[in-house]
Amino acid sequence: MTLRILAIDDSRTMRGLLRASLEEAGFDVTTAEDGIDGMERLEAVAPDVIITDINMPRLDGFGVIEAVRKSDEGRSVPILVLSTESGVEMKDRARRSGATGWIVKPFDDARLISAIRRVARV
């Protein structure tokens, strides 16, 4: 079974890098340009794992995590934060909001893929 990934990032470059890396690893990847776009795609994609940036317009990563956790579709979906931020307070806030893990940009393909496989519940 192919894992479905929803990758949310406001950077077109980062979305392209994620898509290339994850599709090469055999994942089915859907990208979204910000938190609102990601939430609008959630039900249709039914992702096995969500990857989200924190700093985005319209709805930031914390808002995404909180909204996903409140939704029926996303209550138990693993959420990995992929961000340039690495502060303890931000990581703690993400964890309290329901994030499963945190990866600092720039990401290492192998580590990201390993993290996805580790948290996926399929």
What are the pLDDT digits (tens) for 50-99? 999 999 999 999 999 999 999 887 889 999 999 998 899 999 999 999 99
pLDDT above 70 for 100: yes
pLDDT of 20 reads: 97
pLDDT above 90 for 101: yes
CA 2 to each of CA 17, 22, 34: distance values in angstroms, whole numbers, following the listed order = 19, 11, 24
pLDDT above 80 for 1: no
- Residue pair 49/55 in contact (Cβ under 8 Å)? The answer is no
pLDDT of 73 reads: 78
What are the pLDDT digits (tens) for 14-58? 999 999 999 999 999 999 999 999 999 999 999 999 999 999 999
Domains and CATH numbers, the chain: 4-119 (3.40.50.2300)
Chain centre distance of CA 35: 10
Return all residues near 44 (Cβ < 8 A) that are at least 6 apart: none
pLDDT above 70 for 122: no
Beta bridge partners of 103: 82
pLDDT of 5 reads: 98
How far apart (Å, rounded) are the C-alpha atoms in residues 93 and 71? 19
Residue for token pair 């502060």? 87
- Residue pair 8/34 in contact (Cβ under 8 Å)? The answer is yes
